[in-house]
Amino acid sequence: MRTQEQIVEQIENRKGDDILGFETREYLNFLEFEHAKPYLKEGTKPEQWGQPTENSTKNILSIMLDYMPFAWKKAKTCRGISASRSISHYVGWIWMLDDGFEIDADSYCHYGKNLLREICKQYGWNPKQWDMTALE
The alpha helices in the chain, defined as continuous H runs, are: 4-14, 22-28, 33-36, 46-49, 57-76, 80-97, 113-123
CA distance 116 to 50: 31
Residue 105: the pLDDT is 83
Quote the pLDDT of residue 32.
98
Task: Give the pLDDT band (50/70/90) at residue 136.
Answer: very low
Q: Tell me the domain boundaries of the chain.
A: 4-129
Q: What is the pLDDT of residue 133?
A: 67
The average confidence (pLDDT) of the chain is 93
Whether residue 97 contacts residue 57, with contact meaning beta carbons closer than 8 Å, is answered with yes
Left, alpha or beta for 34 (phi > 0: left; psi -120 to 50: alpha)?
alpha
What's the Cα-to-Cα distance from 102 to each of 33, 47, 73, rounded to whole Å?
A: 28, 34, 22
Average pLDDT over residues 106-112: 87
End-to-end CA distance of the chain: give it in Å, rounded: 29
Q: What is the pLDDT of residues 39-68, one digit of tens each?
A: 999 999 999 999 999 999 999 999 999 999
Is 124 within 8 Å of 117 (Cβ atoms)?
no
